[in-house]
Structure 1
Amino acid sequence: MNTWRARLLPPALAIVFAAVLCSVVLLVSGANPLATLAEMIAQVARGTTAVDIVNTAGAYYLVAIAAAIGFQMNLLNIGIEGQYKLAACVASIVGGAISLPFGLHAVVIVVVGAVVGAAWSGIAALLKVYRGVSEVISTIMLNMLAIGVVAYLVPTFGELRGNTQGTKIIPDSGQVPGIPFGGAGTMFGLVLLAAAVGVGYAVLIDRTRYGFELRASGLSSTAATAGGVNSKRMVMSAMLISGAVAGLAGLPEILGRDHTFTLNFPTGYGFAGLAIALLGRNHPIGVAFGALLWSFLDKSSLTLDNIGVPKEIVTILQGAIVLSVVVAYELVRRRELAAEQRRVGRALGTAAAPAAAGTGGERA
């Protein structure tokens, strides 16, 4: 019971605090918070918004799982942004350049994306393991380098279409059919891949020896090493797996809708993934709810201009959630620790009372 309270209470408090903060901002600006929320909820039922939320949540879920894998090892993989963009770019170039049977073509593209993401993340892992370079510094630098590499690859291996440059169109054999919902839109087929990754992550972390060693190394690398766990191997493998999952994040849109990578490809998924992983407490189900919430805020905010509310209020809400969730987790952790100390104190006091009584009887 206490475990579930410790998991659910912090994100709930964070969301409530963020909602209150945004309500205050809206009231100061002269807007009605309840009317704003009602408009955002109503937008979900309009057009293709509901399906768009699920599609974007699939990408958010993948980057958040990538971040969660690093968090389990106490690693901060800031480079998810560069990993998914570079992987999507290279996978699109390969997908547009080869010709394979239907199904196999898409599998090769997905594998290329995962390999590129893992390889790019592996650079930071090597620097940390063999040179002691902080993964925070190296992945930030690799993000900037990835932007430059993408800017070089797209014009070099792509083509000019209208006002933008993009890679060659991936042929039909490499595309992944979506799941149509009539006038509500089409869900990307690779959203199911995101769900499968979540299941695999849950099994890996909770049902395998590797997952136990990963969590043990994250809690205390010294204790894990004393128990026979190779800390360098755990750092390398965690970063590689994190990068591989991140490399999949851009593929649902490419294989399901765009069929090409352009210089206008969506950005910001990687940084959102870090926030979503924190919000979901690195738990696959919690991360799923966080991804849906983040996607809902993104998509439903598009209608706020219609009622005279700036859509930037959603950015304030998302930022407030990130800040408050960290504070909420710490407050709940301290409360649970204090409660545990009181329980231990009462147990020790109860055990000491009979012992003291027995000692007194012997002396008599």
Structure 2
Amino acid sequence: MTKFVLAISAPLLALAAAFVITSIVLAAAGDPVLDVWKQILSMPERRNVANIIDNAMVLYLSGLAAAVGFRMNLFNIGVDGQYRIAAFTAAVVAGEAWLPGYLNTALAIICAMAVGAVWAGIAGVLRATRGVSEVISTIMLNAIATALVAYLLRKASVRVEGSNAIGTKVIPEGSRIPNISIGSGPGQEIYGFVVIVVLVGFLYWFVLNKTRFGFNLRATGRSTTAATASGINITRMVVLAMLISGAVAGLVGLPILFGDSYQYGSTFQSGLGFAGIAIALLGRNHPIGVAVGALLFAFLNEQSNPLQILVGVSPDIVAITQGTIVLTVVISYEIVRRYGVRLEQQAVAKALVPEPREPEEANA
């Protein structure tokens, strides 16, 4: 019970700190603090719930991609570039319709995961063989991926007459993933890709906690020295971890691609990779924790949209809240960790103290 309380106290402490700091920022700017929180914390409508779930799917995949690297003590900052180039690849493959129906969809998903894995694998190989920091290499690969996709998009794009927007060929209707209705009104549907998202979350938990590979990955992340002494190939594990992280990152843009946009264009949603890092930290790399973090960030994003109209406050205030959560969550976990260590030390000390004997036993 104590472990559970400590586990949930850290994120709750971070959220409380973010709430207080954001309120201070609002008050300093002269904005109505209570009205802002009343809007953000109000009950969303059914169509808003659908938007929250859709956004959470994308953020969840992004968080899992970052979490795989974190469990290996690797910082995959390149999820943003990996999902961009993977989504573009999936759009091109699906748009060409080389296979019929859902075989075409499956091929596009596999290609997206492969491209994401290869793009992340570059940083993994550089880290394993040359000692290059994956933080630096993945950030640079983000910039390269953005430029490369922009270049390839101009080559593979299909222009719409009377519009400046460009995009790949539209995915055939038979290869799209149908949305799932959660209500009878308009806009009350969620991406059908949710089935794959849940499956990915389960596989993440199963592989990391129930397989030898997952044990080796977690052991290497905790101590490379101990892992080497146990016979684990560190070089191989670094590369494999980055490949898996990149493969999951390759799925990030696919719910949008197969459930909404049906093509990759200049207006395709960006910036999804960096949010995943914060969500993975908030969720402590646990599949359930990452899901809760994704829902929280999606909820804040959706509820902040009408702030400008209803309250007269920029919705960017939510970015301050999310950024504060990222900063405070690290501090909160460290405070809780130290408190937990102190409790363990007290328990051990109490167990080592001999029980006082009865006077008769002492005289005997």
TM-score interval (norm. to shorter): over 0.9
Query: Per-residue displacement from partner, 1:124-155 (whole Å, max 9, x unpaired)?
Result: 11111111111111101100100111011111
Q: Larger helix proportion, structure 1 or 2? A: 1
- Report the Cα offset of residue 272 of structure 1: 0.3
Letter in 1 for 2:10: P
What residue number does 2:62 align with?
A: 63
Please list, as runs of the form range in 1=range in 2, the aligned pairs for 1:15-26 lying within 5 A after superposition. Answer: 15-26=15-26
- Report the Cα offset of residue 245 of structure 1: 0.4
What residue number does 1:223 align with?
A: 226
Query: Per-residue displacement from partner, 1:140-192 (whole Å, max 9, x unpaired)?
Result: 11001001110111110112231211111111122111112332422111122
Task: Report if the CA contact (8 A) 1:109-1:174 is conserved.
Answer: no
- Report the Cα offset of residue 43 of structure 1: 6.4
What residue number does 1:283 align with?
A: 286
| Structure 2 unaligned residues grouped into runs of 5+ | none
- Report the Cα offset of residue 38 of structure 1: 2.2
Output the TM-score relative to the length of structure 1.
0.94
Distance in 2, matches of 1:222 and 1:256, equals 45
Task: Report if the CA contact (8 A) 1:100-1:173 is conserved.
Answer: no
Percent identity over paired residues: 46
Output the TM-score relative to the length of structure 2.
0.94
The equivalent position to 1:350 in structure 2, one of 338, 351, 354, is 354
Letter in 2 for 1:202: W
Whether 1:114 aligns to 2:113 is: yes
The equivalent position to 1:299 in structure 2, one of 290, 299, 302, is 302
- Report the Cα offset of residue 260 of structure 1: 0.3
Distance in 2, matches of 1:182 and 1:92, equals 30
The equivalent position to 1:328 in structure 2, one of 328, 332, 343, is 332
The equivalent position to 1:190 in structure 2, one of 183, 188, 193, is 193
What residue number does 2:257 align with?
A: 254
What residue number does 1:171 align with?
A: 172
- Report the Cα offset of residue 342 of structure 1: 2.0
- Report the Cα offset of residue 30 of structure 1: 3.1
| Structure 1 unaligned residues grouped into runs of 5+ | none
Whether 1:36 aligns to 2:36 is: yes
Letter in 1 for 2:24: V
Q: CA RMSD in A?
A: 1.8
Distance in 1, matches of 2:77 and 2:134, equals 8
What residue number does 2:268 align with?
A: 265
What residue number does 1:152 align with?
A: 151
How many pairs are equivalent? Answer: 356
Distance in 2, matches of 1:233 and 1:74, equals 14
Whether 1:315 aligns to 2:316 is: no
Q: List 4+ stretches of structure 1 deviating above 6 A.
A: none
- Report the Cα offset of residue 194 of structure 1: 1.0
Task: Report if the CA contact (8 A) 1:81-1:269 is conserved.
Answer: yes
Distance in 2, matches of 1:138 and 1:64, equals 19
Q: Describe the SS at the equivalent of 2:159.
A: strand
